[in-house]
Amino acid sequence: MADVQIDNEKPIKQRLWDCFVLFLAELLGTALYVYIGCISSVGVFNITTIATCLAWGFAVLLPVQWFGCISGGFVNPAVTLAAAIYQKLSIVNALLYFVAQLLGAFLGYGFIIGSLPKNLWNYDFCVPKVQVGLEIWQALLIEYFVTLGLVWIACACWDPRNKENTDSISIRFGLGYAGLCLASINFTGASLNPARAFATAVIHMYFKNHWVYWVSPILASVTGSLLYKYVFSRDAEK
């Protein structure tokens, strides 16, 4: 995954172009992540839970493979925030990524609306929801821990001790995401991504317990990246 920094010594036009390329990579990466993941969840085909979670894993694997060397292929505000805390991404670039990822999630769902008949995406299709019988604090914990797992996958990839093990990063992310999805999908819908949760909630105007899908990922991103950076990383050993 790229260590993304814009060279301030470059001419302004080149810097603006570099920012545009980063923005476009995260926009399209997030759009296709939402598209591939959500379209795999169409219930009319009786797709199994395992197949759906594998599809979400591939939906993460592909943008990391496509755009990892360009923008990092983060496609997730929680991972972007962790990268900023881990100092792999500047604050300015992080804000740029946040906007790209939020817009990309809407774009990806727009692709679904254009690809499927309305009866397949109507109502609350692909909106992550807290399942009946689950307490809110339990949903918060589930989303916190699965997002924490995702953040730690990213931190491990950024760890210099893994600099020789970069060939399989996209596979690690994809399989890791699929496993985290499998653990949580029957309880919280396995969001792990505020951009995906926000776009689907806005389009369907379904905001019941929506705050869970912001609070848990943000807390997981902050605590997970700080813990890895200052306790687990090589720098912490010095």
Q: What is the pLDDT of residues 47-67, one digit of tens each?
A: 789 999 999 999 999 999 999
Average pLDDT over residues 200-216: 96
Only one residue has tokens 């995702």, namely 150
In single-letter form, the type of residue at position 126 comes to C
Give the integer Cα–Cα distance in Å for 183 and 196: 18
If residue 160 lies in a helix (H) or strand (E), which one and from where to where? none
Residue 40 confidence (pLDDT) = 87
4, β-bridge pairs = 89
**Domain 12-237, CATH 1.20.1080.10 — does that match?**
yes
**What is the reported pTM?**
0.91
C-alpha of 73 from chain center: 9
Do the beta carbons of residue 78 and residue 147 sit within 8 Å?
yes
Give the integer Cα–Cα distance in Å for 185 and 79: 19
Residue 11 confidence (pLDDT) = 76
Give the integer Cα–Cα distance in Å for 168 and 187: 30
Extents of the domains making up the chain: 12-237
pLDDT in tens, 128-148: 999 999 999 999 999 999 999
pLDDT in tens, 147-193: 999 999 999 999 888 877 777 899 999 999 999 999 999 999 999 99
